[in-house]
Structure 1
Amino acid sequence: MTEDEFRKLAEFLYRRTGMVFNEAKRYYVERRILDRMAATSSDTFAGYFIILRGEMRREVEHLINAFTVNETYFYREDHQLECLARDLLPDRVRSKRAGEAIRIWSAPCSTGEEPYSIAMWLLENWPLVDTYDIEIVGSDIDTRVLEAAANGTYGKRALMRLPADVIAKYFNQVDEHAWQILDDLRQSVQFSRVNIMETRETRPQGRFDVIFCRNVLIYFDDESRRIAAENLFENLLPGGYICLGHTESMSRISPLFEVCRFSDAIVYRRPKEGRA
């Protein structure tokens, strides 16, 4: 790829995902573009870019899928799950009646480990789990990982942090190397494709009590982070919480949120009604 071709592609990806690809990532980018060129029988980058510029939805989707990072496992950063059950949900249910909805959003959800972890953690650790109508939604921009999440089959590495009794309780062993989430648990999590940079895609998801948006904003530049933060803010109920990855800080991204320090985690909150 020439410098101009690389710049055009980087701009194309940035406009659609918010992710920034600079010269330091050229080798990473070129390897994936060559794969997509081969898949579309494009002899040159110029020919392939015509396909993208023509907004062939399926190929744009394939391209975005090729550039997303999906490294995750069950019970990752479980101190935030501790905080969810010990602090965040008890605060949220103070204003709810028994049977009312509690909505939790995992965005991005990758191959499903995070939303399923939330479900299992609450079943194991929150005494009021059956008192409320808990709705867990997992969203991602990558359609491949959403298909894998809905299938709910995982290898040993994904399960490495789970206690043996939790695996036995919530998984069926498929073979020596694979385990699948039980049907009832799989059906309790909804999955949908959402680009958190696009208001027209985030708003229809409705408002949530808690959002997990971990380890994705590190791939954005300042402007993309601000846009994503504003979109996520609008998807929180007043007083709702957002959990970021341990290297991320909402205080450096947006002034919209309050910082909340709990014994297990630092999280961020949309101010309650009537507060700035």
Structure 2
Amino acid sequence: MNIASPPPPTQADQSEYAFSDRDFARIAALANAKYGIYLQSSKKALVYSRLARRLRALNLSDFETYCDLLQQADSGGEEEHLLSALTTNVTHFFREKHHFDFLRNQLLPDLVARAKSGAAVRVWSSACSAGQEAYCIAAMVLDACAEAGTLDIRILATDIDPQIIVKAKQGIYPKDQQNAIPDQYRAIMIDTSKGDEAHFCMHKKLGNLISFGQLNLIADWPMRRPFDVIFCRNAAIYFDKNTQSRLWGRFADALTPEGHLMIGHSERLCGPAEQRFASVDITTYRKTDAPGIEMSSKGNEKP
């Protein structure tokens, strides 16, 4: 989940609907309370440009009416439209390559060996966007262990946006994204029997390792089995410091002893969780303390 900053709307665009500071404050408060998104006042033009299209779709006359709709008990699912409008899922295959290099070279040999011995291996792509991150992880697992599908290796891929999760499950991407996939993984990842001139498809064998589901990182987590590796990249940057601090602590609780956390290049650990991790590579951290909470081995990884 990313919040992009496109050029601000022109004055003519902004004059289409009345959008007061109070309207912005109401939307910002809802986005923060429900999704953890922190909207500074400098984002007012961005919020206007993203939500004006919703007012047009709903045939509303002003933002005050839209805010009233959002606060109704039955808003017709408008909160999800708000979320999709405010967030832009910008990602690509093997983004921040150093994380995948570390996974391949430092972590997968031991994780595969453990899986072959009968242990469970769990990886969480916690802000998976349209799924590229999760499919890359699955490809690296299959490259390291061709029989991974027969072992207890699972990848959980979650995102707050239900619409983007639907796209992630489909595993269909524009052809121009194919160039980001290294040659060594193309045969594993791309199903050449599917797709068309404009799109390519992920292999079913990758999807068989992945469970996709909607999950709000600031809400309750239903998972009970600890994770060996957690990816959370370019999502926490849009939370305030207190929310970030709580999130890092919850990730520490959700990791196995000496499990690893990978975060975005613009993100930094903060709060008490800083003392629970050791930096081992670029924005890659190993948990150093004992398990923070007891996690059942009988949990269902699907949100």
Per the normalisation by structure 2, the TM-score is: 0.80
Q: 1:135 to 1:39 in 2, by over 3 A?
A: same
Contact 1:250 1:268 in 2 (8 A): no
- Report the alpha carbon displacement of residue 166 of structure 1 after superposing the two structures with TM: 2.9
- Report the alpha carbon displacement of residue 129 of structure 1 after superposing the two structures with TM: 4.8
Q: Establish whether residue 270 from structure 1 lines up as the match of residue 291 from structure 2.
A: no
> Which residue of 35, 42, 45 maps to 2:53?
35
Contact 1:92 1:240 in 2 (8 A): no
Q: Give the aligned residue type for 1:6.
A: F
Q: Establish whether residue 20 from structure 1 lines up as the match of residue 38 from structure 2.
A: yes
> Which residue of 60, 64, 67 maps to 2:83?
64
Q: 1:189 to 1:52 in 2, by over 3 A?
A: same
- Report the alpha carbon displacement of residue 204 of structure 1 after superposing the two structures with TM: 3.1
Q: Establish whether residue 144 from structure 1 lines up as the match of residue 163 from structure 2.
A: yes
- Report the alpha carbon displacement of residue 97 of structure 1 after superposing the two structures with TM: 6.5
Q: Which secondary structure does the structure 2 equivalent of 1:19 belong to?
A: coil
- Report the alpha carbon displacement of residue 63 of structure 1 after superposing the two structures with TM: 0.8
Structure 1: 5+ residue stretches without partners = none
- Structure 1 stretch displaced more, 177-186 or 139-148: 177-186
- Structure 1 stretch displaced more, 106-115 or 117-126: 117-126
> Which residue of 151, 154, 158 maps to 1:135?
154
- Structure 1 stretch displaced more, 253-262 or 29-38: 253-262
Contact 1:99 1:131 in 2 (8 A): no
Q: What's the counterpart of residue 83 of structure 1?
A: 102
| Partners of 2:51 and 2:149 in 1: CA distance | 48
Q: Establish whether residue 153 from structure 1 lines up as the match of residue 172 from structure 2.
A: yes
Q: 1:268 to 1:71 in 2, by over 3 A?
A: same
Q: Give the aligned residue type for 2:218.
A: M
Q: Which secondary structure does the structure 2 equivalent of 1:109 belong to?
A: coil
Deviation string for 1:13-50 (max 9, x for gaps)? 11112222122211110012212222233222222222
| Partners of 1:77 and 1:155 in 2: CA distance | 20
| Partners of 2:285 and 2:222 in 1: CA distance | 20
Q: Give the aligned residue type for 1:81.
A: F
Contact 1:203 1:234 in 2 (8 A): no
Q: 1:148 to 1:115 in 2, by over 3 A?
A: same
| Partners of 2:112 and 2:173 in 1: CA distance | 33
| Partners of 2:173 and 2:185 in 1: CA distance | 14
Contact 1:153 1:179 in 2 (8 A): yes
| Partners of 1:92 and 1:61 in 2: CA distance | 37
- Structure 1 stretch displaced more, 78-87 or 91-100: 91-100
Contact 1:203 1:235 in 2 (8 A): no
Contact 2:158 2:215 in 1 (8 A): yes
| Partners of 2:78 and 2:85 in 1: CA distance | 10
Q: 1:238 to 1:186 in 2, by over 3 A?
A: same
Deviation string for 1:245-270 (max 9, x for gaps)? 122222567335211324xx442233
- Structure 1 stretch displaced more, 144-153 or 162-171: 162-171
Q: 1:102 to 1:61 in 2, by over 3 A?
A: same
Per the normalisation by structure 1, the TM-score is: 0.87
Contact 1:106 1:115 in 2 (8 A): yes
- Structure 1 stretch displaced more, 246-255 or 10-19: 246-255
Contact 2:127 2:158 in 1 (8 A): yes
Q: 1:205 to 1:13 in 2, by over 3 A?
A: farther
Q: Paired residues, what number?
A: 271
| Partners of 2:198 and 2:184 in 1: CA distance | 18
- Report the alpha carbon displacement of residue 83 of structure 1 after superposing the two structures with TM: 1.0
> Which residue of 179, 182, 186 maps to 1:163?
182
Structure 2: 5+ residue stretches without partners = 1-18, 293-303
Q: What's the counterpart of residue 64 of structure 2?
A: 46
Q: What's the counterpart of residue 258 of structure 1?
A: 277
| Partners of 2:122 and 2:31 in 1: CA distance | 31
Identity %: 30
Contact 2:135 2:189 in 1 (8 A): no
